[in-house]
Amino acid sequence: MTSSIPLINALSDIVGKDHLLYDAEELLVYECDGYIVEKKCPDVVVFPISTAEIVEIVKTCNRFEVPFVPRGAGTSLAGGCLPVGGGVMIALTRMREIHEVNLRDGYAVVDPGLVNVHLTREVSGDGFHYAPDPSSQGACTIGGNVATNSGGPHTLKYGVTVNHVTGIEVVLPDGTVANWGGPAGMPPGFDLTGLFVGSEGTFGICTKATVRLTRNPAAYRTMLGIFDDIQTATRAISEIIGAGIVPAALELMDQGIIQAVEAAFKFGFPLDAGAVVLIEVDGLEVSVDDEAARIKELCHQVGVREMRTANSEAERLLLWKCRKQAFGAIGRLSPSFCTQDGVVPRTRLPEILQFIEKTSQKYDIRIVNVFHAGDGNIHPILLFDERDQAQIQRVIEAGDEILNKCIELGGSVTGEHGIGVEKINFMPKLFSENDLTVMQEIREVFNPEGNCSPCKMLPTAGACGMEQIERSHPGRQAAL
């Protein structure tokens, strides 16, 4: 589809000529998000500043019969922002206001384009934070988090996005503005807020979110378990969870990642370790030491080589920096990489990691791991050189094999990144025809014409321009 002058004029009348892009070169930035395997430029990108402008944009798109897709920071790793079929991309990055912070009642009302960590910064002086902390929190937006139901290292104990969103304002695909939930108790009716969270932009555009604010814990103990091999590390994780301990975070990095992170941050990780596990407990000052001691004991029982404890806040922050910026360090290992986001029952971690190792050997593709181990949410990162066509094919096959194994072990193909366009073909493997039909019908309630974020999440919604996507190759892709 080529953008029509009348459409551009109509959109320009709404947002002003400085707040839309339609020049082919400028549009290139928006041809993909963090998932760069598939690319497609939108015809126009608009940058509204208010709910009212979004309503007008949506109505205009409907009048011109063009599809539209919301976009936050574009850090999606599943191609959620891909403008399948072209059309209008509604970029929410100008809408980043914090409308209300109410510490007494424990909530904030924020714009969709607000960067996740900015909310925590706003309230940290008062001893509060916004609990969902995706590793991308320095860039990703609350609206994007709502759409994908983001998790993060600390969501093991505190819950993912949906557990912290109590209300939303939404512009529905027909331009209606709906307000669901809010800060006050449990209003009557279905939990449409909960249903919307994780709908990946296919039910409409979130234009405001009411989120819970969480008190900062009084105390932390942050430990690093150093293991000779990854199998022992995963056994330790199973033991900790199996013993009924839910730490605030439980994150694993294998040898490949340790080496890359050490080169980047010089923390002092032992380079010969098979894996390290970053374990944080938090809560009352009186309880963190007991809990840390129990965890250490369990790690020793399975044969940990060494347990270290962060001795200062600075050391703790450095450990977290290593973990959260691990993806940045991966560039040291390989020119290109591709991340998967499978989930297995937590006790099956040793099995899936063994399988990943075998798959790596089978396809002769190096795979490194850094992931939210406490949730059983793996992020195998497949390293390759994108100039090598044969390698690319092997990466795709290896990735698919790992996700199929996750399903076989009773898990899922995505714990937090979403289905997007990337994993759409796995949906029939996870769900029956009935399941998918019901999901499709629920989508039709909100998005009957299918013009909002077409071709995402459900394979049944296909046949609408997928052929126009450049199916190139697994590209250099951000991890975790």
Partner 1 sequence: MSDVTSDPPQLTPTCETEVIALIKESYEQSRAIVVTGGGHFETYGYPLDSNLAKLSTVNLNQVIDYPSRDMTITVEAGMSIAALQHELAKEGQRLPIDVPCAETATVGGAIAANVFGSRGYQLGTWRDYLLGFSAVDGQGRLFKAGGRVVKNVAGYDLGKLMIGSHGTLAALTQMTLKVKPIPETGQFLYVGLKESEIETYLSSLVRTETIPVSVDLITPEMANLLSIDQSLELPIEFGLLIGFEGTPREVAWQLEKIQTEINTVGKPGVMFAIEEQFTDAVCKGLSETLSSWKSLSNEDQVKKLEKGHSDFRSSTYGNITFQASLKPSAIEKFVKTARTQGCVMQSLVQFGIVRGLLPDMNTAAQVIGSLREELKKFNGSLVVIQSGPQWDSTIDPFDYDSLMLTYMRKIKEKLDPRNILAPGKLFK
Binding residues for ligand FAD restricted to 188-247, rule: CB under 6 A: 200-201, 205-206
Closest to ligand FAD by CB, 118 or 296: 118
Closest to ligand FAD by CB, 201 or 374: 201
**Residue 177 CB contacts under 8 Å (≥ 6 apart), including other chains:** 51, 55, 169, 170, 171, 207
Stretch that binds ligand FAD, among 148-156, 215-223, 268-276, 330-338 (CB under 6 A): 148-156
Beginning with the edge strand found earlier in the chain, give each strand of the sheet holding 165-171 in spatial order: 98-102, 107-110, 205-212, 165-171, 177-181
Stretch that binds ligand FAD, among 96-104, 131-139, 231-239, 347-355 (CB under 6 A): 131-139
Residue 455 tokens read as: 């071709």
Closest to ligand FAD by CB, 100 or 126: 100
Residue 261 tokens read as: 């992170």
Are the CB atoms for 131 and 154 separated by under 8 Å? yes
Binding partner of residue 23 among ligand FAD, partner 1, none, CB cut-off 5 to 8 Å per kind: none
- Residue 173 binds partner 1 (CB under 8 A): no
Rounded-to-10 torsion of CA 75, 81, 87, 92: -50
Total length of the chain: 480
- Residue 327 binds ligand FAD (CB under 6 A): yes
Residue 311 buriedness (CB in 10 A; 0-12 / 13-18 / 19+) = exposed
- Applying CB under 8 A, among 184, 263, 317, 463 the residue interacting with partner 1 is 184
The footprint of ligand FAD on residues 441-460 (CB under 6 A) is 453
Interface characters, 335-374, with partner 1 (x: CB under 8 A):
--------xxxxx------------------------x--
Q: What distance in Å separates the CA atoms of residue 147 and residue 204, rounded to the nearest whole number? A: 9
- Applying CB under 8 A, among 85, 86, 173, 376 the residue interacting with partner 1 is 376
Give Cα 5 to chain centroid, integer Å. 36
The three-state secondary structure class of 279 is strand
- Residue 235 binds partner 1 (CB under 8 A): no
Q: What distance in Å separates the CA atoms of residue 17 and residue 20, rounded to the nearest whole number? A: 6
Binding partner of residue 473 among ligand FAD, partner 1, none, CB cut-off 5 to 8 Å per kind: none
Beta bridge partners of 71: 91
Closest to ligand FAD by CB, 208 or 235: 208
Shortest CB 475 distance to partner 1, Å:
22
- Applying CB under 6 A, among 11, 27, 32, 140 the residue interacting with ligand FAD is 140
The footprint of partner 1 on residues 266-305 (CB under 8 A) is 283-284, 286-287, 290
Q: What distance in Å separates the CA atoms of residue 325 and residue 328, rounded to the nearest whole number? A: 5
Beta bridge partners of 89: 45, 69
Question: Longest C-alpha distance within the chain, in Å?
Answer: 70
Q: For the residues of 112-171, what is the DSSP string, one character each?
A: TTSBHHHHHHHHHTTTEE-S---TTTTT-BHHHHHHHT---TTHHHH--GGGGEEEEEEE
Binding partner of residue 112 among ligand FAD, partner 1, none, CB cut-off 5 to 8 Å per kind: ligand FAD
- Residue 414 binds ligand FAD (CB under 6 A): no
- Residue 478 binds ligand FAD (CB under 6 A): yes
Q: What distance in Å separates the CA atoms of residue 94 and residue 99, rounded to the nearest whole number? A: 14
Shortest CB 443 distance to partner 1, Å:
7
Binding partner of residue 256 among partner 1, ligand FAD, none, CB cut-off 5 to 8 Å per kind: none
Shortest CB 461 distance to ligand FAD, Å:
13
Q: Which amino acid is at 40?
A: K
- Applying CB under 6 A, among 41, 92, 156, 439 the residue interacting with ligand FAD is 92
- Positions that interact with ligand FAD (CB under 6 A): 33-34, 69-77, 80-81, 92, 112, 134-136, 140-141, 143-145, 147-148, 150-152, 200-201, 205-206, 327, 416-417, 453, 478, 480
